[in-house]
Structure 1
Amino acid sequence: MATHRLGVIMHGVTGRMGLNQHLIRSIIAIRDQGGVTMSNGDRVVPDPILVGRNPDRIERLAKSLNVARWTTDLDGALADKNDTIFFDAATTQARPGLLAKAIEAGKHIYCEKPIATGLEEALRVIKLANAKGVKHGTVQDKLFLPGMKKLAMLRDSGFFGRMLSVRGEFGYWVFEGDWQSAQRPSWNYRAEDGGGMILDMVCHWRYVLDNLFGEVESLTCIGATDIPERWDEQGKNYKATADDSAYATFRLKGGVIAHMNMSWATRVYRDDLVTFQVDGTHGSAVAGLTDCVIQPRQATPRPVWNPDEKRVHDFYADWKEVPSNDSYDNGFKVQWEMFIRHVCEDAPYKYTLLEGAKGVQLVECALQSWRERRWVDVAPLKV
Structure 2
Amino acid sequence: MTRKTVRIAMNGVTGRMGYRQHLVRSLLALREQGGLALGDAEGTVLWPEPVLVGRRENALREIAERHGLDAEKSVSTDLDAVLADPTIDIYFDAQVTSAREEAIKRAIAAGKHIYTEKPSATGLAGALELASLAKAAGIKHGVVQDKLFLPGLLKLKRLIEGGFFGKILSIRGEFGYWVFEGDWQDAQRPSWNYRAEDGGGIVVDMFPHWEYVLHELFGRVRSVQALAATHVPQRWDEQSKPYDATADDAAYGIFELEGGAIAQINSSWTVRVNRDELVEFQVDGTEGSAVAGLRNCRVQHRSSTPKPVWNPDLPVTHSFREQWQEIPDNQEFDNGFKAQWELFLRHVYADAPYHWDLHAGARGVQLAELGLKSSAEGRRIEVPEIAQ
Q: TM-score, normalised by structure 1?
A: 0.99
| 1:96 alignment partner, SS class | helix
Matched, 1:108 2:113: yes
More displaced, 143-152 or 26-35? 26-35
Residues 173-184 of structure 1: pairs in structure 2 closer than 5 A: 173-184=178-189
Matched, 1:290 2:295: yes
Q: CA RMSD in A?
A: 0.8
Match of 1:192 in 2: 197
Who is 2:281 aligned against?
276
Task: State whether residues 284 and 295 of structure 1, in contact with CA within 8 Å, keep that contact through their aligned partners in structure 2.
Answer: yes
Q: CA offset at residue 297 of structure 1?
A: 0.6
Residue 71 of structure 1 deviates from its aligned partner by: 1.3
Aligned residue number for residue 22 of structure 1: 22
In structure 1, C-alpha distance between the alignment counterparts of 2:246 and 2:58, rounded to whole Å = 32
| Equivalent residue number for residue 234 of structure 1 | 239
Q: Distance in 1 between matches of 2:76 and 2:180?
A: 34
By how many angstroms is 1:189 displaced?
Answer: 0.5
Count residues with an aligned counterpart. Answer: 383
Aligned to 2:380: 375
One-letter identity of the residue aligned with 1:101: R
Are residue 302 (structure 1) and residue 282 (structure 2) matched? Answer: no
Aligned to 2:358: 353
Distance in 1, Cα, partners of 2:59 & 2:369: 36
Tell me whether 1:136 sits opposite 2:138 in the alignment. no
Q: Aligned-pair distance for 1:209?
A: 0.2
The residue that corresponds to 2:50 in the other structure is: 48
- The answer to whether the Cα contact below 8 Å between 1:88 and 1:111 also exists between their aligned partners in 2 is yes
* Superposition misfits of 4+ residues, deviation over 3 angstroms: none
Could you tell me which runs of 5 or more consecutive residues in structure 1 were left unpaired when the two chains were aligned: none
* Superposition deviation, residue 57 in structure 1: 1.0
Shift of residue 39 of structure 1?
Answer: 3.2
Task: Indicate the SS of the match to 1:335.
Answer: helix
Q: CA–CA distance in 1 between the matches of 2:108 and 2:122? A: 19
Cα deviation digits, residues 143-198 of structure 1 (max 9, x gap):
00000000000000011011110000000000010000100000000000000011
Q: Which residue of 2 aligns with 1:62?
A: 64
Within 2, Cα distance between the matches of 1:111 and 1:328?
Answer: 23
AA at the equivalent of 1:241: T
2:2 alignment partner in structure 1: 2
Match of 2:150 in 1: 145
Aligned partner of 2:33 in structure 1 is 33
Structure-2 residue corresponding to 1:342: 347
**For 1:154, which of 159, 164, 178 is the aligned residue?**
159
Question: Aligned to 1:328, which of 313, 330, 333?
Answer: 333
CA distance in 1, matches of 2:28, 2:338: 10
Query: Following the alignment from structure 1 to structure 2, what is the Cα–Cα distance between the partners of residues 197 and 340?
Result: 30
Question: What is the CA deviation profile of residues 306-325 of structure 1, one whole-angstrom value per residue up to 9, with x for unaligned ones?
Answer: 01111112101100100111
* Equivalence for 1:85: 90
Provide the rounded CA distance (Å) in 2 between the counterparts of 1:281 and 1:326.
Answer: 28
Identity %, equivalent residues: 56
Which residue in 1 is equivalent to 2:99? 94
Structure 2 letter corresponding to 1:280? G
Q: Structure 2 CA distance, aligned partners of 1:117 and 1:261?
A: 22
Asked whether the 8 Å contact 1:207–1:359 carries over to 2, the reply is yes
Q: Supply the distance in 2 between the matched residues of 1:114 and 1:329 (Cα, whole angstroms).
A: 24
CA–CA separation in structure 1 for the residues paired with 2:27 and 2:285: 39
- Unaligned segments of structure 2, at least 5 residues: none
**Conservation of the 8 A alpha-carbon contact between 1:49 and 1:67:** no
- 2:279 counterpart of 1:257: no
Distance 1:91 1:356 in 2: 16
Cα displacement string for residues 97-130 of structure 1 (whole angstroms, at most 9, x for unaligned residues) = 0000011111000000000110001111111111
The answer to whether the 8 Å contact 1:137/1:351 transfers is: yes
Secondary structure of the residue aligned to 2:8 is strand
| CA distance in 2 between partners of 1:150 and 1:158 (Å) | 13
What is the Cα deviation at residue 50 of structure 1? Answer: 0.7
Paired position in structure 1 for 2:13: 13
